[in-house]
């Protein structure tokens, strides 16, 4: 039996609008998000249709663009798709959908070849695609580009391809405030940019591909844009969310006090890097027989426990025993970042600690990317597709974006073609009385920092009932005076989205009274076989 949670968002729409007072735009397909899933979807739009791709920043700013490790796919003759599927299911700890896993990993090689045909320059050895191994994989099957800048190269190729498509517009630096719904169907979105203000974008089909939620946490690998906007707007619109307790923490984030956090790719350990504590002890043998190549949840908890044992704020990643030429070829970006801090990784250890990395849960979608809200499709990190279960296998994220982005684009295109060639503006508006103390200014940066610290402490790598209860009380308190305000800029809307998404994560983490995958409860440290089920979240507000 599935667990069901109902919560009430503070407000259906974040801002007031009246259809006679703001501009309208009409399109066949609206794609919200410019990462790998959104761009791959745009490539499938029939040339007879019009489409708009909306990105709240520049297209180069997405979790996809910052991905280092690569894309998992079977190219080695000694490997096979069944092994890739088995590794994925093993990492998912009983919550993967086998049909979805088989579908996604089965398409991997073809989707990667398509990228290569588009001009993505994957690393090669003697003309063959180079492969590396990462934690949780039984074989070398991770395809990479520019050494450790796979996401950057893939997004470059996709952006060029999408920009060349006739009929596809790209709106950068445009914030999606809310999805528009009427008669239980998604009709498009209310968006804002600094040049035109609010605009109602009416669409026959809408694809949500907004990415992740890492910025809910103080320690994260994610860029500033990853504020769970898609999760929040989908929930307010009435779509079902699922498995929001599963935030994956990456074990190795460069830790320099006062410096920006930088991801240190899984592939560093895949190529033979060692984890050591402050005393030089290679400690992973105390936690898992796979050592540094254990799944991410295991390694993250091991590092956290070792930091506590040694009373030190980090551990160290050691590649000094590897060939300097290999390091220069495979990890040029990581080497440069470390050198900027005065660390020569061919001679010195890298200080690392875990950080929030990938949102496993999200908008519930089926194999064709349909959400539970008619007219809304979704793909990528904003979704819960059944591929990852309770813990994502390394380098399956870009793969999921490719597979589901393609499917979402194909379905949206075919559905839009079947609609009458007539565009409709629905009689929607949102108005309410002024809130009390609307004139009071809030220190949004301070609130975001406070939320990030709370989430890291209470809903982080280790969780328990009392901490989750404290977090729920605190977020509810903040929500009472933040969510009643009407902001006129993205920083305010982002905070409102972050508070809602945090509350959903806290509710799901409280409901799951066991430890499974990336969700670890000190008060329920064992995995309970009877709880191998999903936790579904619904809005109980009147839509």
Residue with the two structure tokens 């809030």: 442
Cβ atoms of residues 369 and 411 within 8 Å: yes
44-78 burial code (b ≥16 CB/10 A, e <16): bbbeebbbbbbbbbebbbbbbbbbbbbbbbbbeee
Cβ atoms of residues 208 and 90 within 8 Å: no
Q: Name the token pair of 261.
A: 């956090």
Residue with the two structure tokens 């894309």: 71
Q: Of 340, 352, 343, which is closest to residue 268 (Cα–Cα)?
A: 352
Spatial neighbors of 288 by CB under 8 A, at least 6 apart, are 294, 298, 299, 302
Q: Of 105, 103, 113, which is closest to residue 395 (Cα–Cα)?
A: 105
Q: Name the token pair of 477.
A: 């308190």
- Residues carrying an active site annotation: 296
Q: Name the token pair of 137.
A: 């994989």
Angstrom distances, CA of residue 131 to CA of 146, 276, 324, 528: 13, 26, 19, 36
- Beta strand 262-263 with 383-384: parallel, antiparallel or unpaired? unpaired
Give the ranges where 198-273 is alpha helix by DSSP (H): 229-237, 266-270
Length of the chain: 543
């Amino acid at each position: 039996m599935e667990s069901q949670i109902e919560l009430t968002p503070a407000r259906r729409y974040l801002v007031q609008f009246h259809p006679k007072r703001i501009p309208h735009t009409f399109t066949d397909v609206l794609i919200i998000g410019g990462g790998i899933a959104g761009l791959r979807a745009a490539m499938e739009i029939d040339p007879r249709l019009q489409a708009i791709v909306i990105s709240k920043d520049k297209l180069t700013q997405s979790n996809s663009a910052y991905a280092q490790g690569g894309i998992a796919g079977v190219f080695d003759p000694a490997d096979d798709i069944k092994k890739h599927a088995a590794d994925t299911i093993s990492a998912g700890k009983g919550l993967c959908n086998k049909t979805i896993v088989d579908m996604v990993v089965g398409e991997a090689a073809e989707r990667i070849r398509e990228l290569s045909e588009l001009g993505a320059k994957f690393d090669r050895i003697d003309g063959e695609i180079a492969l590396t191994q990462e934690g949780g994989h039984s074989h070398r099957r991770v395809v990479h580009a520019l050494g450790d800048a796979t996401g950057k190269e893939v997004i470059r190729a996709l952006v060029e391809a999408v920009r060349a498509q006739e009929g596809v517009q790209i709106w950068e630096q445009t914030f999606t405030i809310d999805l528009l719904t009427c008669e239980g169907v998604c009709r498009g979105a209310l968006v804002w940019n600094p040049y035109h203000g609010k605009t109602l974008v009416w669409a026959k089909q809408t694809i949500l591909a907004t990415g992740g939620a890492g910025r809910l946490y103080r320690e994260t690998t994610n860029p500033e844009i990853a504020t769970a906007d898609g999760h929040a707007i989908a929930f307010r619109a009435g779509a079902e969310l699922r498995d929001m307790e599963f935030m994956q923490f990456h074990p190795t984030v460069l830790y320099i006090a006062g410096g920006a956090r930088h991801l240190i790719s899984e592939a560093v350990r895949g190529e033979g890097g060692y984890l050591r504590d402050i005393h030089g002890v290679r400690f992973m043998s105390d936690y898992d027989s796979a050592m540094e190549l254990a799944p991410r949840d295991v390694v993250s908890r091991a590092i956290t426990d070792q930091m506590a044992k040694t009373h030190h704020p980090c551990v160290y990643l050691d590649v000094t025993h590897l060939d300097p030429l290999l390091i220069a070829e495979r990890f040029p970006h990581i080497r440069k970042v470390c050198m900027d801090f005065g660390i020569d990784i061919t001679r010195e250890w890298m200080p690392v600690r875990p950080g929030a990395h990938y949102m496993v849960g999200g908008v519930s979608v089926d194999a064709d990317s349909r959400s539970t809200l008619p007219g809304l499709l979704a793909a990528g990190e904003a979704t819960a597709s059944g591929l990852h279960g309770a813990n994502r296998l390394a380098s399956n994220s870009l793969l999921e974006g490719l597979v589901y982005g393609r499917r979402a684009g194909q379905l949206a295109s075919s559905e839009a073609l079947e609609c009458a060639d007539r565009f409709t503006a629905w009689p929607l508006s949102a108005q309410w009385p002024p809130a009390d103390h609307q004139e009071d200014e809030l220190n949004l940066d301070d609130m975001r920092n406070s939320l990030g610290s709370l989430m890291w402490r209470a809903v982080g790598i280790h969780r328990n009932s009392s901490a989750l209860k404290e977090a729920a009380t605190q977020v509810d308190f903040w929500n009472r005076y933040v969510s009643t305000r009407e902001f006129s800029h993205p920083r305010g809307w982002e905070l409102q989205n972050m508070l809602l998404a945090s509350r959903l994560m806290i509710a799901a983490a409280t409901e799951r009274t066991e430890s499974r995958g990336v969700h670890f409860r000190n008060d329920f440290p064992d995995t309970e076989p009877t709880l191998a089920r999903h936790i579904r979240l619904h809005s109980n507000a009147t839509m």
